Every structure is written in C-alpha cells, then in structure tokens.
Structure 1
Amino acid sequence: MSTFTIFLALIVVVAFLLIVVIMVQNPKGGGLSSSFGGGGTQQLGGVKKTTDFLDKSTWTLATLLLVLILASNVAINRGGENVDSKALDEDAATTTPALPAPLPATNDAATATPADSTAN
C-alpha cells in the first residue's frame, strides 16, 4: 500500500466526517444539534456547548482536509520521470521537426480540369 493510497483513504474519511458535522449544524439552534439527548433539559452539554463543539470540529476537519490534500500531492508517485516542461528544454527548442516528403507530381487525365480539355 503506497503513501498516496493512505492519504487518499484519510481524505475520504475526513471529507465524510466534515459533511456529517456540517449537516448536523443549524445556525438558529433548531437543527439536529439541539435534539441530542431527547428533552430540552436533559441535553448533553446544552445547545451552546454543542454548537461550540461542532464549530471547532468543522474548522479542525477543514484544516485537516486541506493539509492532507497538500501532503498527498507530495506523495504522488510520478514514476521517476522528469516532469519539467518541454517548452523549457533547450535541446528541444533548437531542433526543428522533420517535414513530410512532398507528394510526387503526376500528369494524368484524371487531374485535368474541364477547361483544359475543351481549350483546343
């Protein structure tokens, strides 16, 4: 298992968790975050603390997702080939591509125009 595969799996997990945390939030306090615990007086930590936790977890997961995406770019296996631009290669810029050979000229009746055949 390569490092890039591990980063990709972590990115998928963090993205899923971020989606769940964002969907649970409601800015007016009436979403799923306020219904944890069933009753209004028996809520775990209260609505305010739940909102603070969800807000902090959203920022944490978003930051973690960004870091994982940037780190996965470093871990991509490029196959050991040179990934520099061909436009910057000095050897390629000085050589000209070979032109195709010209077609041979033929003088047969099929290529003659009607104007040529009637002008006697």
Structure 2
Amino acid sequence: MSTFTIFLALIVVVAFLLVVVIMVQNPKGGGLSSSFGGGGTQQLGGVKKTTDFLDKSTWTLATLLLVLILLSNVAINRGGENLDSKALDPNATTSQPLPAVPVQTTNDTATPADSTGN
C-alpha cells in the first residue's frame, strides 16, 4: 500500500468525522447540546461543555484535514519525470501535427454560387 493511499484513506475518514461533528451542531441552540439540557434542571456534562467540545472538535478536524491534504501532495508518486515546463524549451517538439489548411485555387469560370467549377 502506497503512502498516498494511506493519506487518502485518512482524508476520507477525517472528512466523514468532520461532517458528522458539523451535523450534530445546531447554531440556534438545538442539536446535541440542547438534548443534554433537558428542561434546564438536569444536565449531563452541561450544555456549555458540549458546545465547547463540538467547537474544538470542528476546528481540530478541519485543521487535520487541511494538513493531510497538503502532506498528501508530497506523497504523490510522480514517476521520476522532469517537472520542467516544455513550453519554455525551444527545442521541444509538439506531439500533434498542425491541421492542414485547404489550398484554394482560383478558377476564373467558377462563381461563388457554383463551387464545383462548372
């Protein structure tokens, strides 16, 4: 298994966890943090601590995702190719030939409406 494949699997897992953490939050006081509040008398861990945990989890997962994406760029196997641009090389040849331009001959008897030459 290549290093890039490992980074790719980690990126998918972190992205999934980030989506789950974001979906659990509700900016209007609902979501997971309000379900712990109940009627306001019984709190399991407290609403404020749950919101802080979800907020810190979001920032941590987002930072981890960004770092993994940047590190995965280093792990891409480029096959040892020369990364210089061929547009700057004056000796480089193009792999595709230029399209042929049809040659138009002048025919004094032909008119624009009659292109067959009759």
**Sequence identity of aligned pairs in percent?**
87
TM-score, normalised to structure 1, is 0.72
Residue 66 (structure 1) aligned with residue 66 (structure 2) = yes
Structure whose alpha-carbon radius of gyration is higher: 1
Structure 1 residues 98 and 11, CA gap change in structure 2 (3 angstroms) = closer
What secondary structure is seen at the aligned counterpart in 2 of 1:35? helix
Structure 1 residues 90 and 18, CA gap change in structure 2 (3 angstroms) = same
Aligned length: 104
Gaps in structure 1 of 5+ consecutive residues: 104-111, 115-120
Gaps in structure 2 of 5+ consecutive residues: 104-115
- 1:18-58 superposed Cα distances (whole Å, 9 cap, x missing partner): 00000001122221232148775443321111000100110
Correspondence for 2:5: 5
Correspondence for 1:47: 47
Structure 1 residues 85 and 35, CA gap change in structure 2 (3 angstroms) = same
- Cα distance, 1:3 vs structure 2: 0.4
What secondary structure is seen at the aligned counterpart in 1 of 2:22? helix
TM-score, normalised to structure 2, is 0.73
Greater helix proportion:
1
Task: After the TM superposition, list the runs of 4 or more consecutive aligned residues in structure 1 that deviate by more than 3 angstroms.
Answer: 36-43, 97-100
Letter in 1 for 2:70: L
